[in-house]
C-alpha cells in the first residue's frame, strides 16, 4: 500500500463523522482511496438525528435543533448538496417563565418591558450582553467562572433571577465550574433570526450521507465498534462479529467512548477522562393544540425546581402541516447521571412533567398528547472548566494516523452541528495534507 491509496475509517456517523467524510469524499471519488463510516445507530446524524411518524411529511429532530445566522459550514454544505433552497430563515420569539409568569426576552425592546428585573438591572444586563456581542476575545473570559463573571458584571439580582436557574438547569451540580468563555459563546454569535431546513436535520444528514455514497464512500449502519487495536501501521476495528482494517482512523464519537475504544498511553487517557460531560433527556410531544399559544418558539424555564429547563414549540417556527396538522413541542433537560431523573422510566417521567407543563399553560391537559417520543443521550454537553483551551486534546492523537473529532474540540463556540461539520473539515484537511 502506498500513501496515495489509503483506507480511511471514521467511527461515528454524527455531524463530525459525516462532515469529515464529506470533506474527504474527493479522495474516494476515483476509487484510489476508501472512505468508510461505521455508525452504531440505524441512521446517521447522532445527537441531531430525527424520528418520524408515518403520517408526518417531515421527521422531527429528537432534541431541538436550529442554526443561527452566519454558521458557514452548515449553509455552504446545504448549497453544495442541493438543499440551499430548502433553508428556512425565521425571526422567532423567545420568552422566560419565572414565578408563574411568562415574558418575552429576545430584543432590546422586549428587554425594556421585561417585568422580572428592575430598570437598572435590565440596563446593566443589556450593557454586558452588548459588550459580549462585540468582544471577539473569548480567551479573556476563560479563567473566570461564568457565575463569578455574571455576578460581578450584572449583579447578584440578575444572576439569581436570570442565569443561575438556567446554568443549574443545564449543568446541574457542575454549573459553578463552567467558565465565562462558554457564557460568551452563548451570547456572542446569537441571532434572533434562526435557520432551519425543510425536512429537518435528519433529512439534511441523510442527503450528506447520500453524497458521500455517490462519491464511493461507504457507510455501515447498525455497526457498533467494540475495540480498536493498532497492528503495525494499521488499525484493526472490531464489532462483535466483524473486523475492519484501516490505515487512518478518525474517532468521531464522544471523547469518553474514544478513550475506551482504543488503549491510548495511560497518562493520556488519565488526563482526558477527567473532562466532564453531561447527558440530556428530551420529550417530543405531538399535541392536538398549541402549547405556547402566544407564538413563542423557545421558552426558558427560569426555575431550577422544574423537571425540565425549556419548552420549544417547533410548529411556531415551521408549519404544522408537515406534522399531520399537529403541534410539536420539545420538553428538555440536561442531566447528570447522578440525578434521580436519569434512570426514570419514560412513562413515569412523562407523568412527572405534566403538572409542570400545566403550571406554564393551565389549559394544558394530558388528553392533548397524541403521541410522545423520549430520547436519552449519555453525552450531550461537555462541561467547560477554567482554562479549558489548554485542557482540550489535540485532534491529532499521540498515535500516528489516529484522530479525534469530538464535541470537546468545539471551543469556544458551544457545541453545534455547524461546528461539528467544521471540525470534520479541519481533520479532512490534515489527512489530505499528510497523504499528498
Ligand atoms: C439537547 C441538544 C440540543 C442541541 N441543539 C443544537 C442546535 O440547536 N443546533 C445545532 O447545530 N446543534 C445542536 N446541538 C448539538 C449537536 O447535536 C452536536 O453538536 C452535534 O450533533 C455533535 O455531533 P458529533 O458527531 O460530534 O457527536 P454525536 O452526534 O454524538 O455523534 C457521535 C456518533 O457516534 C456514534 N457512536 C458512538 N459510539 C459508537 C460506537 N462504539 N460504534 C459506532 N458508532 C458509535 C453515535 O451513534 C453517534 O451517531 C444540540 C445537542 C443537544 C444534545
Ligand 1 atom at shortest distance from the alpha carbon of 379? 30
CATH class of domain segment(s) 7-59+199-275+384-435? alpha beta
pTM recorded for the entire structure: 0.95
Answer whether 212's CB lies under 8 Å from 22's CB.
Answer: yes
Mean of all residue pLDDT scores within the chain:
94
Atom 39 of ligand 1, nearest CA residue:
40
CA–CA dist 330, 309 (Å, integer):
11
Parallel, antiparallel, or unpaired: how do β-strands 298-301 and 94-98 relate?
Answer: parallel
Atom 38 of ligand 1, nearest CA residue:
253
Find out if CATH 3.90.660.10 is the number for domain 277-382.
Answer: yes
- 135 Cβ partners below 8 Å, 6+ apart? 184, 188
Q: What is the pLDDT of residues 200-244, one digit of tens each?
A: 999 999 999 999 999 999 999 999 999 999 999 999 999 999 999
Atom 1 of ligand 1, nearest CA residue:
63
Domain extent listing, the chain: 7-59+199-275+384-435, 107-187, 277-382
Ligand 1 atom at shortest distance from the alpha carbon of 16? 25
Beta bridge partners of 95: 104, 299
Better-predicted residue by pLDDT, 147 or 166: 147
* Beta-carbon count within 10 A of 168 CB: 17
Residue 17 has pLDDT above 80, yes or no: yes
Atom 16 of ligand 1, nearest CA residue:
416
Ligand 1 atom at shortest distance from the alpha carbon of 223? 43
CB 219 less than 6 A from any atom of ligand 1? no
* Beta-carbon count within 10 A of 66 CB: 23
CB 202 less than 6 A from any atom of ligand 1? no
CA–CA dist 218, 189 (Å, integer):
35
CB 238 less than 6 A from any atom of ligand 1? no
- Tell me the CA end-to-end span of the chain in Å, nearest whole number: 14
CA–CA dist 291, 48 (Å, integer):
23
Average pLDDT over residues 128-143: 92
Average pLDDT over residues 332-337: 90
Answer whether 67's CB lies under 8 Å from 75's CB.
Answer: yes
From residue 45, alpha-carbon distances to 12, 19, 85 in Å are: 9, 10, 21
- 14 Cβ partners below 8 Å, 6+ apart? 44, 45, 46, 47, 48, 252, 253, 420
CB 67 less than 6 A from any atom of ligand 1? yes
Average pLDDT over residues 160-166: 92
Instruction: Please tell me the distance between residue 34's alpha carbon and the centre of ligand 1 in angstroms.
Output: 24
In degrees and rounded to multiples of 5, residue 218 shows phi and psi of -115, 145
Amino acid at each position: 500500500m502506498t500513501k496515495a491509496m489509503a483506507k480511511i475509517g471514521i467511527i461515528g456517523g454524527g455531524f463530525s463523522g459525516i462532515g469529515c467524510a464529506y470533506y474527504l469524499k474527493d479522495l474516494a471519488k476515483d476509487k484510489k482511496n476508501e472512505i468508510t463510516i461505521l455508525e452504531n445507530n440505524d441512521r446517521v446524524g447522532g445527537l441531531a438525528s430525527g424520528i418520524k411518524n408515518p403520517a408526518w411529511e417531515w421527521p422531527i429532530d429528537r432534541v431541538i435543533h436550529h442554526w443561527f445566522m452566519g454558521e458557514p459550514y452548515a449553509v455552504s454544505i446545504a448549497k453544495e448538496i442541493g438543499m440551499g433552497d430548502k433553508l428556512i430563515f425565521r425571526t422567532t420569539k423567545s420568552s422566560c417563565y419565572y414565578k408563574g409568569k411568562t415574558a418575552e426576552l429576545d430584543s432590546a425592546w422586549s428587554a425594556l418591558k421585561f417585568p422580572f428585573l428592575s430598570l437598572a438591572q435590565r440596563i446593566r444586563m443589556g450593557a454586558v450582553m452588548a459588550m459580549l456581542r462585540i468582544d471577539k476575545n473569548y480567551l479573556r473570559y476563560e479563567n473566570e467562572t461564568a457565575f463569578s463573571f455574571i455576578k460581578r458584571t450584572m449583579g447578584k439580582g440578575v444572576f439569581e433571577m436570570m442565569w443561575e436557574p438556567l446554568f443549574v438547569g443545564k449543568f446541574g451540580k457542575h454549573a459553578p465550574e463552567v467558565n465565562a468563555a462558554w457564557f460568551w459563546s452563548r451570547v456572542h454569535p446569537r441571532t434572533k433570526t434562526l435557520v432551519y431546513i425543510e425536512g429537518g436535520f435528519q433529512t439534511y444528514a441523510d442527503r450528506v450521507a447520500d453524497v458521500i455514497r455517490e462519491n464511493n464512500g461507504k457507510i455501515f449502519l447498525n455497526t457498533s465498534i467494540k475495540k480498536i487495536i493498532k497492528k503495525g501501521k494499521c488499525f484493526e476495528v472490531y464489532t462483535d462479529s466483524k473486523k475492519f482494517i484501516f490505515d487512518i482512523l478518525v474517532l468521531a464519537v464522544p471523547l469518553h467512548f474514544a478513550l475506551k475504544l482504543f488503549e491510548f498511553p495511560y497518562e493520556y487517557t488519565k488526563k482526558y477522562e477527567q473532562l466532564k460531560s453531561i447527558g440530556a433527556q428530551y420529550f417530543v410531544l405531538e399535541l392536538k393544540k398549541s402549547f405556547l399559544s402566544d407564538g413563542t418558539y423557545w421558552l426558558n424555564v427560569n426555575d431550577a425546581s422544574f423537571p425540565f429547563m425549556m419548552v420549544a414549540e417547533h410548529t411556531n417556527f415551521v408549519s404544522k402541516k408537515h406534522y399531520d396538522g399537529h403541534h410539536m413541542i420539545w420538553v428538555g433537560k440536561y442531566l447528570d447521571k447522578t440525578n434521580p431523573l436519569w434512570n426514570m422510566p419514560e412513562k413515569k417521567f412523562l407523568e412527572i412533567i405534566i403538572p409542570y407543563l400545566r403550571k406554564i399553560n393551565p389549559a394544558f391537559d394530558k388528553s392533548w398528547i397524541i403521541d410522545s417520543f423520549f430520547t436519552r443521550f449519555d453525552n450531550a454537553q461537555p462541561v467547560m472548566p477554567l482554562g479549558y483551551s489548554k485542557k482540550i486534546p489535540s485532534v491529532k492523537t499521540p498515535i500516528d494516523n489516529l484522530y479525534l473529532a469530538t464535541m470537546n474540540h468545539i471551543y469556544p463556540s458551544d457545541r453545534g452541528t455547524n461546528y461539528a461539520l467544521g471540525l470534520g473539515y479541519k481533520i479532512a484537511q490534515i489527512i489530505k495534507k499528510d497523504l499528498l
